[in-house]
Structure 1
Amino acid sequence: MSELPDRLLEAVGDEPVVETVDIGGGDALIVAVTTTYLYRSEGLLSDESIESYGHDARRLAVDAGRRKATVRLETLDDERSFTVPAEAAETVVEAMLEGVLRTTGVVDREESIAGRFRFNDLTLVVTDAKLFKHVGPAVWNEDFEIFDYGSLTDLDFEDGSVATRVVVEIQGRQHRVKVPNDRAGEVRRTVRDAVFDHHDVTTLGELRSALDAASADAESEPKPDSAPELTGIDPVEEETTGGDDDARTDWSPPADQDVTGPRGSTSAGTSAGTGTAFGTAGGRGRGSTGGSTDGETTADESDPGGADVARLADRVDELESRLQQQNELLESQRETIEQLVEELRRGR
């Protein structure tokens, strides 16, 4: 589409645009920050129309078929959906993902997004301050993890025969994110550049030196005294009456009364409903500082198996890839059967 319809441009107004997509047949879609606008041109069975879909959504999902894809937005009140050609679905959904993250406050207004990636059940969003990870059938919902570059203690990449693992270490705890090799280079560059820019370094060696220096400075900071020394104040003389002494030494709390105060501990493995992660707010989602939503986020641990463990991991990656191919083949066969049934019903 060489020019966008005036009616569509009027609907968008001055709102910042994330993406404009030509979806064919005279139809177009504009993804703005807070709203997606879908324009349908006049046809034999329908009039010209514009539908708007707000991004204040709890869940964003896509059901992809061979020719068409259905995009679904779920809010507190209802669920809305629309269809686009399958070849345009990825562009549309990734742009809408950015809109949802900004509208719901997960990504700050001044925060820039460096990359958006979707791999089957994994969604990654790289900003200039954080790495967001979501695992599940939906493109996005309120269950996600946040890796804050300010709490980073190391960054590494592990190559495999089928997939590459992005290893993010937060306060000494490792978290692995597995991405397929066909886009691993793009993910590696995006994450690396964002982290390097945040810490003002240009190489992985410089990053580690800067992180080590920051850790050493934090450990060397003097701790405040437990209590200030009081001078110039005369001590209060204690009463020496027997009644007071008896009351002071013989009193004990009832058996059912806890006088020790609340007990509890904070750890990097807790998750919060307000989207906290690594000690920072992550918006509306339940960000996790060290917990794991899948098997890829693991604690820092020794690897006694060495090469055997690496070979097993590569084998698992290969089996997962084959399983995905089989699922795609089954989906293709199912669509073909449905098409044949529909044509038989029509007498074709």
Structure 2
Amino acid sequence: MRNDSDALNYQNEILKGVSRTFALTIPQLPLPLRRVVGNAYLLCRIADTIEDDPDLSVEIKKIFSQQFIQVLAGDYSAEQFAHALTPQLSAAILPAERDLIAHTATVVSLTHCFNARQQASLLRCVQIMTAGMSHFQQHCSRAGLADLPELDRYCYHVAGVVGEMLTELFCDYSPDIAANEKQLYLLSVSFGQGLQMTNILKDIWDDWQRGVCWLPRDIFLAHEFDLQQLNPEQYHDKFGSGLKELIAIATEHLKNALDYTLLIPKKEIGIRRFCLWALGMAILTLRKINQHPNFNCSQQVKISRNSVRATVMISNITAQHDLLLKLIFATLSRPLLIKTK
């Protein structure tokens, strides 16, 4: 078993392999939060890797997901879990993700060093996430989700609950942040949904290639487009109209994300940067999708490295200036809030 220092070093290194975005944003957090938020991300990534493996059956996924919950609760051996799961992972799983699964015990050894509230928050998040992913993965298809409320439920299970977890961790870290706990919780799910909807819209065609669609049918039927007609080689203006309506909805959620960020005390500049970087990159992504609704590959609407650098620079400069942040958001989001009829 590695000691805490070795486990933390592993956590910091593997983050770079499984997520370039979070490997960039998490180090902005104060050190005590950096450890637990980085750990939380890896726990979610382990759960996500199980659900995303195309070769594991629904029954096997359920078994390993339940075992993982038991591992986090301290009721099952992390070593046994990893030893059983790693050989069954398909070739589609990235090497870094495979390595993460193999080192579950190392990651969980850090989890079990956190205080009781932190551990309970992480466990609750992974429990809700695994249950939701299992349900939606069993019922997903290219036909899309039934309606916007079902999209809301999906986003809650894969992202909104993460917003709740982060809020609890932030409030546990700082009494000044905890003073706004009720307001933060009211906005936290919407923050997560804004980011998740941005990813869903960006990844429409990548998901479609895998036989999956997370778009709500009712939004597109209102624009006289059936999602079963989706084809990356054939763009329909009516599909574009539905897409722009979802962009507007996602933007409204990101407005809530900004309100959430402004509730964080200005002195907690690292936490504000953590939120603003994610928010800024999401808004720029939505702008690219809005400008190119006929895209047929996520790479076509992926923001450039220069855009990422600009987001970081502007966020760092304005992180403590609420009025300026509101003005920048209003300017960037204005073209996105036009819903087509």
- Using the size of structure 1 for normalisation, the TM-score is 0.25
Q: Which has the higher helix share?
A: 2
Structure with the greater alpha carbon radius of gyration: 1
- Using the size of structure 2 for normalisation, the TM-score is 0.25
Q: Which has the higher contact order (CA 8 A, sep 6+)?
A: 2
